[in-house]
Amino acid sequence: MTFHNGEKLTAEDVKFTLDSIRDPQVGSWLRGFLGPIKDVQVVDETHLKIKTDTIENQVIPAFAYVDIVPRSADTDLAKKNPIGSGPFKFVEWVPNDRIVVERNTAYWDQARMPKLDKIVFKPVTELQTRLSQVLAGNVDLVYDFALQEVPRLQADRRVAVTLNPPAEQSFVAYVNQRKPPFDKVEARQALGWALDREAFFKNFQAGIGSPVGNSPFTDKHWAYEPRTADTYRYDLDKVGQLLEKAGYPKGQGMDFSFLVPSGYPEFKQISTLLQAAFAQVGYQPAIEEVEIGQWSARLNQSHDFSVAVDYPGRGTADPALTYSAGLLYPPTAANVGGLTPETIPGYVDAIREGAQTLDQGKRKEAYSRVQMLWMEYLPGPIFGHRSAAHAGVPGVKNFVPHAAFQQSWVDVSLEK
């Protein structure tokens, strides 16, 4: 195997990649994925030995997120000139205009050579502009667009719509438990009862997706706990009662806001519905809309937020990865909400049992306890499961969207 720059890919490059991700100074978002790894040893040019303290079910699925890079390029290569070894190689990046990749004729698996010569990715932030371009045939595919537009595009013969099932991404709220009011469990529970989920999915998701949340998994996943299904429906009476228990009767004394990134309408819609619900019981929190980079920094670095809506993924993964690699389910390297093991007695022990046990029946029991403890202490509400929609011109063939957005373009072709 060779990299796109012609260098040979060896075990030393794999070790360099894994060690760089594990290095806190590098700051990789994948660091939590590889947390159980204690050491990476090169055996020979094509073999490594990876050391963990125990069985760790998250490690093998975590490798699917790792892109091997050449050690000669150091850790800054992705900023300007990414070099990989895959079926497509980087050609050009013009910020705010396009990214171009082309077929890698030296790809190691000649039986799976890409059918496309080149792919041009164009960032277009305005939704209607994106849809107009694909309807006019100026682009071949629009990836992940607002579900409100699905019925209109499904009725238009100029495009074919592909839907991901509601499984990978959950609508959630990160809740900062480091400060009032959400250091109180009753205030967090009130947030769980405050969203009219049915109205959100009907009015803003075209009825697509699943308003049955509370678990990162749907009922199709082996680890799903069905007792979570009927908890935290829309109930303003419960919101008021819980706020009173938390010491905020009719919202008096509360001080919090919703932090929303620009360009993510679903986050703004959920935040607006929650704002209206709290207003009905006596307190109207503000909605603060900021640029995505500032949103991320305030969640991950300064922790300067109260509530922030997101749709994190990995609901289709092994639960060991789901509960260790994201921002919502601590304790992880990110731990956005500030949850400590003491916050939920038994929670961390149950996660470890599920992650370090091979028997699936015992793992399911452990993850059922995790889900029920989450419901009881509610470090962050899970409001439902999101679908994703894509639309392409009829000439796009064999496009199969990946649930976790780890998209393969090898088998995609274009007929003009």
- pLDDT per position as a tens digit, 290-315: 999 999 999 988 999 999 999 988 88
Predicted TM-score (pTM) of this structure: 0.90
- pLDDT(250) > 60: yes
Q: What is the pLDDT of residue 331?
A: 65
Distance CA 257, CA 236 (A): 19
- With bands split at pLDDT 50, 70 and 90, how would you rate the model's confidence at 80? confident
Average model confidence (pLDDT) across the chain: 93
pLDDT band, very low/low/confident/very high, at 273 (cuts 50, 70, 90):
very high
Total residue count of the chain as it appears in this document: 416
**CA R_g for the chain:** 23
The 10 Å CB-count burial string (b at 16+, else e) for 40-71 is bebeeeeeeebeeeeebbbbebbeebeebbbb
Q: Tell whether the model's pLDDT for residue 77 goes beyond 60.
A: no
Confidence class for position 74, pLDDT limits 50, 70, 90: confident
For 174-193, what is the mean pLDDT?
96
Predicted confidence at residue 326, as pLDDT, reads 67
- Contacts with 342 (C-beta within 8 Å, 6 or more apart), sequence order: none
Task: Give the model confidence (pLDDT) of 365-409 as tens digits.
Answer: 999 999 999 999 999 999 999 999 999 999 999 999 988 888 899
Q: Phi and psi at residue 181, in whole multiples of 5°?
A: -85, -10
Cα–Cα distance measured from residue 205 to residue 148, given in angstroms and rounded to the nearest whole number: 5
Query: What average pLDDT does range 31-51 have in this prediction?
Result: 95
User: Quick one: average pLDDT of 152-162?
Assistant: 96
Strand partners, 42: 48
Give pLDDT tens digits for 111-135. Answer: 999 999 999 999 998 889 999 999 9
Mean pLDDT of 146-173: 94
Predicted pLDDT at 332: 67
Q: Which of 374, 249, 263, 255 is CA-nearest to residue 323?
A: 374
Express each pLDDT in 313-362 by its tens digit: 888 999 999 988 766 776 666 678 988 878 889 998 999 999 999 999 99
What is the set of domains in the chain, with CATH numbers? 11-85 (3.90.76.10), 118-165+388-414 (3.40.190.10), 166-387 (3.10.105.10)
Express each pLDDT in 199-240 by its tens digit.
999 999 999 999 988 999 999 999 999 999 988 999 999 999
